[in-house]
Amino acid sequence: MFQPLGFERCSVNTSLGRMVYYTNTGSPWQDEMTASKDKETLVFLHGFGGGSSAYEWSKVYSAFGAEYRIIAPDLIGWGESEHPERNYQVEDYLTTIREFLQQSCDGAVKVIASSLTAAFTIRVAITHPELFKSLILTTPAGLSDFGENYSRSFFAQLISTPVLDKLFYTAGVATSGGIRSFLEQRQFANSNRVYDEIVEAYLESAKQPNAEYAALAFVRGDLCFDLSQYIEQLTVPTAIIWGQKSQFTGPEIGQRLAQMNPQAIKIFQPLDSVGLTPQLELPGVTVGLIKKFIPLLEK
Q: What angle do CA 260, 263, 269 make, to 5 degrees?
A: 70
pLDDT at 174: 86
Per-residue pLDDT tens over the stretch 262-279: 999 999 999 999 999 999
What is the value of pTM for the model shown?
Answer: 0.94
Residue 69 identity: R
Distance of alpha carbon 133 from the chain centroid: 18
Instruction: Point out the residues of the chain with pLDDT beneath 50.
Output: none
pLDDT at 86: 95
Q: In the CATH scheme, what is the code of domain 8-298?
A: 3.40.50.1820
Closest to 75 (Cα-Cα) out of 38, 125, 20, 27:
20
Contacts of 54 (CB under 8 A, 6+ apart): 1, 3, 21, 22, 44, 46, 72, 73, 74, 79
Residue 114 region by backbone torsions, left for phi larger than 0, else alpha for psi between -120 and 50, else beta: beta
Q: Kindly tell me the number of DSSP H helices and DSSP E strands found in the chain.
A: 11, 8
Closest to 189 (Cα-Cα) out of 245, 139, 118, 254:
245
Helix, strand or coil, per DSSP, at residue 283: helix
Can you tell me the distance from the alpha carbon of 273 to that of 88, in angstroms, rounded to the nearest whole number? 33
pLDDT at 276: 95
pLDDT at 33: 56
The answer to whether the Cα torsion of 273, 277, 280, 286 is positive or negative is positive
Helix, strand or coil, per DSSP, at residue 183: helix
pLDDT at 42: 98
pLDDT at 201: 96
Per-residue pLDDT tens over the stretch 131-178: 999 999 999 999 999 988 766 665 556 566 665 677 778 877 889 999
pLDDT at 112: 98
Does residue 57 contact residue 44 with C-beta atoms inside 8 Å?
Answer: yes
Cα 227 to Cα 69, 132, 192, 287: the distances in Å are 30, 19, 32, 26
Q: What is the greatest pairwise CA distance in the chain? A: 57
Residue 283 identity: P
Does residue 264 contact residue 291 with C-beta atoms inside 8 Å?
Answer: no
